[in-house]
């Protein structure tokens, strides 16, 4: 800790506020809020504090700390949100591209209001609806609205079409109308106030229906249209009555497509749940108005790997409702957000009315949460696939990797290796293959680690790479069939390489396990190897590649800060957070992790529990069960004396001494 930070820590007040952590170049790393700046900021630098990996990495880079004192927690939350939105610090959970979300604006402050799409929200007397994540959906909604309600879409200055709604006209004012209505009038999409075919009051009634519809108050819209239809019929204006009838039917058709869900009450609700990937989270929001689901939107949060569910939820609520023009009286959330009381108070101030945040544990609301969460999972997977199938983005990503890693050409074939285990048991290696930036599942490989004991990622990577590349080292394509493979969904096929023609054998033992059947298969060499891990894993991998005299560009990808390590360089390469190249290596690494962990879970399910007790001679199932029932854990057995162990029914002193010996060896 440098003297500058120590002086700041000594001067921190016991007051609420925000703290701003910066690196040596003055770049803001993190912005946080605190009830007591003194207690919160100092907690990062106390040896007794158990920091998350993300916070440990951040604290190591902090060279300066600034703070701002405010009156209360709500002011701290508002100021924190403003700083995060403006500076987008690396270690805060951030909503991706939150500045570009579109809104639907009803321009109430101008004469004869228009309804159109905008990219920002302001407290300026107009009505805004959103934000939406899909611009196409906004355009489709606007087109639907214009079919249902005849408002103007032109950009003319309408201040001279009718006298002011309130007060006398300004001196010199005179009415100026257009010479003729446009096509919108003739196709019944505008009631033409520009030529005085409609009064200001009639046009305002149309805009009121638009607002009611966007608010989800469809019953009121239908009731208003029915009243107009009846009035037109009573006045023998059957053409107008027919138009009102057609609009009522159109609105009802829209309502039929909506999913109606019965909830505990008919108040407005936003239901929020999320699904997390490796370093990003998809948050899904369902908007209920009067018990009807009127829409849904999803948002992507980045930098969530080491964040707790409560922190993720709190970050989303702050960033979403800071710019949302509508806050319902109830938020139904999957998990209770950190600082729930503060966020709730802040939302009440913004709404100028009561707001409750509920995290249900049972009942109808929990079922709603489960439905929203399932949708979030689907969207997260769709976003992953969508990015991988975008040829422009993948080509740009490959070119960025070529430049960043100083490669001779964009890497057309990339192989990524990951190791999965639980406390050293059931260790497996995974190899995934991407060609032209897209996954090639048919060439994925899984390796059951056979020569390494305990949680040793370094040695496990070395075993996998030797088994993958030893055929190249021998200048032959023969590879033994001891690679345990579940590639492309073929769990009962094993792969071997040899010179000759391709052939497949699908022979399985009676229990479904692979036999020594072989598949002739040519393995292409990669243009780039990615090792999941930092300097240590990369160094271990390079030892094998050099030993086998394999010259292929190889890098290590560290999870904590997405740092890319290259051989012989002490400093990592850090790609910009918005880099397509970084996004690609993250996706490849995440795919390797997903592929490996599914195989690891399968092996783990076959051997649900493995204990050091299984390795002790003379400790059978009965003694093991008795020991676990009495002591509860291996750690408790290690703390017990030999006499305590021997006194247990079924145990002997010799067996107790062996237990102590083996547990001590394991520690």
pLDDT 10s digits, 539-565: 999 999 999 888 999 999 987 677 899
What's the rounded mean pLDDT across residues 261-265? 48
Q: How confident is the model at residue 600 (pLDDT cuts 50, 70, 90)?
A: low
Phi, psi of 485, rounded to the nearest 5 degrees: -120, 140
Number of structural domains found in the chain: 5
- Residue 550, in any domain of the structure: yes
- Residue 55, in any domain of the structure: yes
pLDDT digit string, tens, across residues 191-226: 999 999 999 999 999 999 888 888 877 777 788 888
> Closest by alpha carbon to 523, among 428, 448, 444?
444
Residue 414 three-state SS = strand
- Residue 171, in any domain of the structure: no
- Residue 314 pLDDT exceeds 90: yes
Residue 255, C-beta contacts closer than 8 angstroms, at least 6 positions apart? 218, 292
pLDDT at res. 484? 44
Q: What is the DSSP letter of 615?
A: G
Domain boundary (46, 71, 92) is at 92
Angle between helices 391-405 and 580-606 (to 10 degrees): 100
Integer Cα distance of 393 and 389 in angstroms? 9
Residues 286 and 381 in one domain: yes
Q: How confident is the model at residue 501 (pLDDT cuts 50, 70, 90)?
A: very low
- Residue 514 pLDDT exceeds 70: no
What's the rounded mean pLDDT across residues 239-258? 72
Integer Cα distance of 477 and 617 in angstroms? 43
pLDDT at res. 22? 92
Q: What is the DSSP letter of 442?
A: G
Q: Are 530 and 416 in contact (CB under 8 A)?
A: yes
Pinpoint the alpha helices (H) of 426-516. 457-473
Task: Report the range out of 405-409, 417-421, 568-572, 599-603 with the highest average pLDDT.
Answer: 405-409
Q: How confident is the model at residue 606 (pLDDT cuts 50, 70, 90)?
A: very low
pLDDT at res. 526? 92
Residues 483 and 587 in one domain: yes
Residues 72 and 128 in one domain: no
Would you call 360 exposed, middle or buried from its count of C-beta atoms within 10 A (0-12, 13-18, 19+)?
Answer: middle
Element of type H or E holding 446: strand 445-448
Integer Cα distance of 110 and 467 in angstroms? 72
Number of helices (H) and strands (E) in the chain: give both, helices first: 20, 19
Residues 498 and 540 in one domain: yes
- Residue 245, in any domain of the structure: no
Integer Cα distance of 17 and 35 in angstroms? 7
Residues 601 and 623 in one domain: no
Q: How confident is the model at residue 256 (pLDDT cuts 50, 70, 90)?
A: low
Q: Are 417 and 592 in contact (CB under 8 A)?
A: yes
Q: Mean of the per-residue pLDDT values for the chain?
A: 80
- Residue 238, in any domain of the structure: no
CA 509 to chain centre: 42
Integer Cα distance of 537 and 327 in angstroms? 49
Residues 451 and 375 in one domain: no
Q: Are 463 and 431 in contact (CB under 8 A)?
A: no
Residues 554 and 434 in one domain: yes
What's the rounded mean pLDDT across residues 270-296? 84
Question: Could you tell me the pTM of the whole model?
Answer: 0.53
- Residue 575, in any domain of the structure: yes
Integer Cα distance of 567 and 575 in angstroms? 17
Q: Quick one: tokens of 483?
A: 């690679």
pLDDT at res. 518? 30
- Residue 521 pLDDT exceeds 60: no
pLDDT at res. 417? 94
Task: Report the range out of 57-61, 139-143, 495-499, 529-533 with the highest average pLDDT.
Answer: 529-533
Residues 311 and 197 in one domain: no
Residue 255 three-state SS = helix
Q: How confident is the model at residue 506 (pLDDT cuts 50, 70, 90)?
A: very low
- Residue 434 pLDDT exceeds 90: yes
The Cβ-side half-sphere exposure at 477, using a 13 Å CA radius, reads: 15
What's the rounded mean pLDDT across residues 583-591? 88
- Residue 519 pLDDT exceeds 90: no
Residues 537 and 414 in one domain: yes
Q: How confident is the model at residue 644 (pLDDT cuts 50, 70, 90)?
A: confident
- Residue 508, in any domain of the structure: yes
Query: How many residues are recorded in the chain?
Result: 667
Q: Are 461 and 449 in contact (CB under 8 A)?
A: no
Element of type H or E holding 28: strand 28-34
Q: What is the DSSP letter of 496?
A: B
pLDDT digit string, tens, across residues 71-85: 888 889 989 988 888
**Which structural domain, as residue segments, surrounds residue 136?**
99-165+177-216
- Residue 511 pLDDT exceeds 50: no
> Closest by alpha carbon to 181, among 191, 171, 167?
191
pLDDT at res. 287? 87
Domain boundary (590, 606, 622) is at 606
Q: How confident is the model at residue 665 (pLDDT cuts 50, 70, 90)?
A: low
Q: How confident is the model at residue 388 (pLDDT cuts 50, 70, 90)?
A: low
- Residue 175 pLDDT exceeds 80: yes
- Residue 465 pLDDT exceeds 90: yes
Share of the chain above pLDDT 90, in %: 27
Share of the chain above pLDDT 70, in %: 84
pLDDT at res. 249? 78
pLDDT digit string, tens, across residues 87-138: 888 888 887 654 457 888 999 999 999 999 888 778 788 998 877 766 777 8
pLDDT at res. 247? 75
Q: Are 479 and 471 in contact (CB under 8 A)?
A: yes
CA 242 to chain centre: 49
CATH number of the domain residue 13 falls in: 3.40.1440.10
- Residue 246 pLDDT exceeds 90: no
CATH number of the domain residue 326 falls in: 3.30.420
Where do the DSSP E strands lie in 345-412?
Answer: 356-358
- Residue 637, in any domain of the structure: yes
Q: Quick one: tokens of 583?
A: 């996004």
Instruction: Identify the residue with better confidence: 264 or 505.
Output: 264
Do strands 269-276 and 330-333 pair parallel, antiparallel, or not at all (unpaired)?
parallel
Instruction: Identify the residue with better confidence: 600 or 376.
Output: 376
Instruction: Identify the residue with better confidence: 487 or 658.
Output: 658
What's the rounded mean pLDDT across residues 399-406? 91
Q: Are 200 and 193 in contact (CB under 8 A)?
A: yes
Residues 440 and 553 in one domain: yes
Integer Cα distance of 390 and 384 in angstroms? 10
Residues 426 and 513 in one domain: yes
- Residue 357 pLDDT exceeds 50: yes
Q: Are 588 and 434 in contact (CB under 8 A)?
A: yes
pLDDT at res. 485? 41
∠ at Cα 258 (254, 259), nearest 5°?
A: 165
Domain boundary (562, 584, 606) is at 606
Residue 30, C-beta contacts closer than 8 angstroms, at least 6 positions apart? 20, 21, 58, 89, 90, 91, 92
- Residue 346 pLDDT exceeds 90: yes
Residues 477 and 527 in one domain: yes
CATH number of the domain residue 621 falls in: 1.10.150.20
pLDDT at res. 508? 35
Q: How confident is the model at residue 636 (pLDDT cuts 50, 70, 90)?
A: confident
């Amino acid at each position: 800790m440098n003297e500058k930070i120590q002086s700041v820590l000594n001067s921190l007040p016991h007051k609420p506020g925000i703290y701003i952590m910066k690196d040596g170049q003055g770049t803001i790393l993190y912005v946080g809020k605190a009830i007591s700046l003194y207690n919160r900021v100092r907690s990062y630098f106390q040896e007794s504090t158990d920091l998350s990996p993300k916070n440990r990495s951040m604290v190591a880079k902090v060279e300066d700390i600034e703070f701002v004192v405010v009156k209360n927690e709500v002011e701290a939350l508002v100021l924190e949100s403003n700083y995060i939105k403006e500076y987008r610090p690396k270690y805060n959970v951030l909503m991706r591209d939150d500045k570009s979300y579109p809104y639907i604006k009803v321009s109430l402050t101008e004469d004869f209001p228009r309804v159109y799409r905008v990219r920002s929200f302001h407290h300026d007397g107009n009505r805004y609806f959103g934000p939406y994540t899909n611009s196409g959906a906004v355009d489709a909604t606007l087109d639907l609205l214009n079919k249902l309600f005849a408002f103007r879409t032109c950009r003319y200055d309408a201040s001279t079409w009718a006298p002011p709604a309130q007060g006398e006209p300004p001196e010199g004012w005179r009415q100026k109308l257009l010479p003729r209505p446009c096509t919108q009038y003739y196709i019944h999409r505008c009631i033409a106030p520009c030529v005085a075919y409609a009064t200001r009051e009639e046009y305002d009634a149309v805009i009121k229906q638009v607002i009611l519809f966007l608010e989800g108050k469809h019953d009121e819209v239908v009731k208003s249209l029915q009243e107009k239809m009846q009035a037109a019929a009573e006045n023998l204006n059957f053409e107008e009555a027919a138009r009102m009838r057609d609009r009522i039917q159109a609105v009802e058709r829209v309502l039929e497509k909506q999913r109606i869900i019965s909830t505990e009450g008919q108040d407005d609700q936003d239901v929020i749940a999320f699904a997390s990937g490796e370093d990003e989270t998809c948050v899904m929001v369902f908007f209920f108005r009067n018990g009807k689901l009127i829409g849904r939107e999803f948002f992507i949060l980045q930098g969530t790997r080491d964040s707790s569910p409560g922190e993720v939820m709190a970050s989303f609520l702050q960033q979403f409702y800071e710019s949302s023009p509508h806050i319902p009286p109830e938020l139904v959330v999957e998990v209770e957000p950190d600082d729930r009381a503060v966020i709730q108070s802040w939302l009440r101030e913004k709404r100028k009315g009561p707001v409750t945040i509920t995290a249900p544990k049972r009942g109808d609301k929990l079922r709603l949460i489960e439905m929203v969460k399932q949708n979030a999972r689907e969207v997260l997977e769709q976003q992953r696939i969508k990015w991988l199938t975008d040829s422009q983005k993948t080509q740009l990503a490959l070119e960025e990797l070529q430049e960043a890693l100083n490669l001779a050409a964009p890497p057309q074939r990339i192989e990524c290796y990951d190791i999965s285990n639980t406390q050293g048991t059931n260790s497996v290696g995974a190899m995934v293959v991407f060609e032209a930036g897209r996954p090639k599942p048919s060439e994925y490989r899984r390796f059951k680690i056979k020569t390494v004991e305990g949680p040793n990622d370094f040695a496990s990577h070395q075993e996998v790479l030797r088994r993958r590349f030893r055929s190249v080292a021998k200048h032959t394509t023969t590879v033994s069939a001891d690679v345990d493979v579940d590639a492309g969904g073929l769990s009962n096929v094993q792969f071997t390489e040899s010179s000759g023609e391709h052939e497949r054998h699908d022979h399985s033992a009676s229990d479904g396990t692979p036999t020594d059947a072989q598949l002739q298969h040519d393995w292409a060499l990669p243009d780039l190897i990615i090792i999941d891990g930092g300097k240590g894993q990369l160094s271990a991998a390079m030892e094998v590649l050099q030993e086998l005299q394999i010259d292929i560009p190889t890098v290590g990808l560290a999870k904590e800060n997405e740092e890319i390590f290259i051989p012989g360089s002490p400093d990592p390469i850090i790609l910009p957070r918005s880099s397509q190249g970084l996004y690609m290596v993250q996706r490849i690494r995440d795919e390797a992790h997903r592929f490996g962990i599914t195989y690891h879970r399968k092996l783990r399910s076959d051997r649900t529990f493995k204990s050091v007790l299984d390795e002790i001679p003379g400790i059978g199932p009965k003694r093991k069960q008795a020991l676990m029932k009495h002591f509860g854990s291996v750690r408790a057995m290690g703390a017990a004396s030999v006499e305590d162990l021997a006194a247990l029914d079924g145990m002997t002193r010799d067996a107790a001494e062996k237990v102590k010996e083996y547990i001590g060896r394991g520690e």
